């Protein structure tokens, strides 16, 4: 698979062209092509073999030529030349907020600056302020930008951004005059990480709302503040933008700022095909220039002859076509979830007792919960030896007799050993209601070995769910090498469910593979893997991921009521 390498080179060319001050449309064209190539399932070599490179959306004659060149020679001459002509380090300067291609080129030409370190020195020595259209303030801003760049973490995990946004929304809700109020951007779409937090609101007194926003206690720095919008920094590096918008345009504005870019491009095409031009402010009828305003997003989509599209699937991955044809999925919702099939207690490495976990689950309105403590092979997590598991089964039987309208399921999170064998014998696994099988060791196996290891676990008749199937931790640890396509095929064949681990640092399976699983007819279990009562609330993140994967209620194992779930678990 050389797709990723090609995507990297195309994206790099986009950066280099931007530094040269080439047309921004050209720059965007390279980045768009890079994105498409990266997300393609099929090998570029196969496509090139059929002579169909130019059929790839966003790839025309020029880029197709460069891709073939790479496939044949391993190089792209134009890219090598660009790289040679551009001092290394300049691309990095573009990452400093406030610096664009024009300024970076000028800094390089006039001051010989080609790295962040050199720029910092130049600014401290007040050499920057002597350049045209520069002054003491821009110099100071550059230094602040450099400070933030040094502290920057990459993208913000959803598990950090969402609670933070909710806190800020809570403050804004109390501000006099605030009407509509919502997050937009990738946070609204529920992506696993977000770049920043976008908030939109309406108010008859925009300036007062902006003043209230920049004085919320969590705000550490105000980057920009105008009459209708402001940008601030919270928690050292997280940027939060607020825009106050005209109420009659709220629907078009929130649609626009929710994105994704690709979805919006597609939507504008639809609008044009129906004789309208769509902007963030209105829908303009081309025939007579009549402007139509929408205060509700739903009305905008309906006016374009399509169903309202849930934000989580606005990625131009077929949702626009589906909405036009009235065949959007009815995505799984929080109220569909009837239980949690993977939680821990203080019997292994959880913080709370079974009773405490049960009370918390009942409080969420669940019908059941599977207590899946670790098996003894995971000694570091106080895994249960067989006799302790039996003891725990006894306790749960007793608790179930006392529990009204709630079922505690006996479960285990059993280790899949390096050789693919399970950490408990069949006999005791057969006594469990729910068996989640997971990999927690031997992460560095080769792809073939790891894939076979997981598949052999699925071939056990007792395994119901594969826990966190790729082992990745967002921003911490890469997924282990595994051929998920083969794993999912095996899941379909053996009737094993895949977990969407809802912990915000896992979200594993991710959105894309969840969708693939659904296509193959594999069931998914959205589990929190909670190690404490408050861990149960992570379900929210798992549901967002499931929705991004186009999952409906019928695709989700723990959307089954207790009776149907038991029937399913007892099959075969």
In the complex, the residues that contact DNA under the rule CB under 7 A are 23, 25-26, 28-30, 33, 54, 57-64, 78, 97-104, 129, 133-139, 141, 185, 196, 198, 224-229, 239, 241, 257, 265, 268, 272-273, 279-280
Looking at the Cβ atoms of 257 and 347, the one nearer to DNA is 257
User: Residue 179 to residues 7, 242, 285, 469, 564: CA-CA distances in angstroms?
Assistant: 43, 14, 28, 43, 44
Instruction: Output the CA–CA distances (angstroms, integers) from residue 252 to 245, 277, 281, in the order listed.
Output: 10, 12, 6
**Cα torsion 271, 275, 277, 282: sign:** negative
Please check whether residue 188 is in contact with residue 258, taking contact to mean a CB–CB distance below 8 angstroms.
yes
Task: Tell me which H or E stretch contains 199.
Answer: strand 197-202
CA angle centred on 244, ends 239 and 246, rounded to 5°: 150
User: Please, what is the minimum distance in Å from the beta carbon of residue 170 to DNA?
Assistant: 22
- 242 or 455: whose CB is closer to DNA? 242
Sign of CA dihedral 123, 127, 132, 134: positive
Q: What is the CA radius of gyration of the chain?
A: 27
Burial group, residue 442, by CB count within 10 angstroms (0-12, 13-18, 19+): middle
Q: Helices (DSSP H) in 20-95: which residue ranges?
A: 24-39, 44-49, 61-73, 77-85, 90-93
Distance CA 485, CA 516 (A): 8
Output 114 or 505, the one with its CB closest to DNA. Answer: 114
DSSP structure class, residue 304: T
The distance of closest approach from Cβ of residue 52 to DNA in the complex, given in angstroms and rounded to an integer, is 12
Proportion of the chain in helix, strand, coil states, percent, rounded to 5: 50, 15, 35
Please identify, using beta-carbon distances, which residue of 58 and 495 lies nearer to DNA: 58
Task: Report in angstroms how near the CB of residue 440 gets to DNA at its nearest.
Answer: 39
Q: How far is the CB of 93 from DNA (least distance, A)?
A: 10
For residue 116, the minimal CB distance to DNA (Å) is 14
Structure tokens at 128: 């920057």
Nearest distance from C-beta of residue 36 to DNA, angstroms: 9
The distance of closest approach from Cβ of residue 121 to DNA in the complex, given in angstroms and rounded to an integer, is 18
- By beta-carbon proximity to DNA, the closer residue of 292 and 520 is 292
Q: How far is the CB of 91 from DNA (least distance, A)?
A: 13
Closest CA to 523 of 572, 470, 466: 466
Cβ at position 244, least distance to DNA in Å: 8
Nearest-angstrom CA–CA distance, 498 and 548: 16
Between CA 220 and CA 364 the distance in angstroms is 35
Nearer to DNA, 33 or 457 (CB): 33
**Helix segments in 281-348, DSSP class H:** 297-303, 319-324
CB-wise, 99 or 457, nearer to DNA?
99
């Amino acid at each position: 698979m050389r797709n990723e390498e090609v995507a990297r080179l195309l994206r790099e060319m986009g950066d280099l062209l931007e530094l040269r001050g080439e047309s921004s449309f050209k720059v965007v064209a390279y980045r768009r092509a890079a994105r498409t190539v990266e997300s393609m399932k099929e090998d570029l070599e196969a496509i090139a073999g059929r002579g169909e490179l130019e059929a790839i959306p966003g790839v025309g004659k020029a880029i197709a030529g460069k891709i073939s060149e790479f496939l044949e020679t391993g190089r792209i001459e134009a890219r090598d030349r660009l790289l040679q002509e551009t001092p290394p380090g300049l691309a990095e300067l573009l990452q400093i907020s406030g610096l664009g291609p024009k300024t970076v080129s000028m800094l390089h030409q006039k001051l010989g600056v080609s790295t962040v370190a050199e720029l910092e020195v130049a600014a401290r020595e007040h050499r920057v302020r002597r350049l045209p259209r520069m002054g003491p303030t821009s110099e100071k801003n550059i230094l602040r930008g450099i400070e933030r760049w040094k502290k920057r973490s990459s993208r913000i995990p959803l598990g950090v951004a969402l609670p933070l946004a909710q806190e800020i929304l809570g403050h804004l809700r109390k501000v006099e005059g605030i009407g509509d109020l919502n997050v937009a951007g990738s946070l609204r779409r529920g992506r696993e990480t977000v770049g920043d937090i976008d908030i939109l609101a309406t108010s008859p007194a925009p300036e007062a709302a902006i003043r209230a926003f920049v004085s919320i206690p969590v705000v550490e720095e105000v980057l920009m503040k105008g009459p209708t919008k402001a940008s601030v920094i919270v928690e050292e590096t997280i940027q939060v933008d607020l825009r106050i918008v005209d109420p009659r345009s709220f629907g078009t504005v929130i649609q626009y700022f929710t994105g994704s870019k690709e979805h919006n491009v597609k939507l504008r095409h639809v609008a044009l095909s129906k004789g309208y031009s769509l902007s963030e402010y209105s829908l303009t009828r081309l025939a007579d220039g009549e402007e139509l305003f929408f205060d509700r997003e739903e009305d905008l989509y309906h006016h374009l002859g399509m169903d309202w599209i849930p934000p989580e699937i606005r990625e131009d991955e077929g949702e626009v076509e589906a909405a036009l044809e009235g065949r959007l999925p009815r995505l799984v919702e929080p109220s569909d979830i009837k239980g949690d099939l993977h939680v821990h207690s203080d019997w292994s490495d959880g913080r709370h007792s079974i009773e405490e976990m049960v009370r918390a689950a009942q409080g969420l309105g669940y019908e059941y919960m599977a207590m899946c403590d670790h098996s003894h092979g995971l000694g570091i997590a106080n895994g249960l030896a067989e006799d302790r598991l039996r003891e725990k089964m006894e306790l749960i039987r007793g608790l179930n007799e006392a529990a009204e309208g709630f079922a505690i399921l006996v479960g285990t999170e059993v280790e899949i050993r390096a050789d693919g064998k399970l950490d408990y014998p069949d006999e005791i696994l057969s006594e469990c209601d729910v068996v989640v099988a997971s990999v927690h060791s031997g992460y560095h196996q080769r792809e073939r070995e790891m894939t076979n290891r997981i598949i052999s676990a699925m071939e056990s008749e007792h395994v119901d769910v594969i826990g966190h199937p790729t082992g990745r931790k967002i921003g911490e640890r890469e997924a282990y090498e595994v051929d998920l396509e083969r794993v999912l095929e095996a899941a379909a064949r053996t009737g094993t469910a895949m977990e969407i681990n809802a912990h915000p640092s896992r979200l594993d399976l991710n959105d894309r593979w969840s969708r693939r699983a659904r296509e193959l007819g594999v069931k998914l279990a959205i589990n929190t893997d909670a190690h404490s009562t408050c861990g149960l609330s992570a379900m929210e993140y798992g549901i967002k991921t499931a929705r991004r994967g186009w999952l409906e209620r019928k695709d989700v194992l723990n959307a089954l009521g207790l009776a149907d779930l038991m029937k399913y678990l007892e099959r075969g």
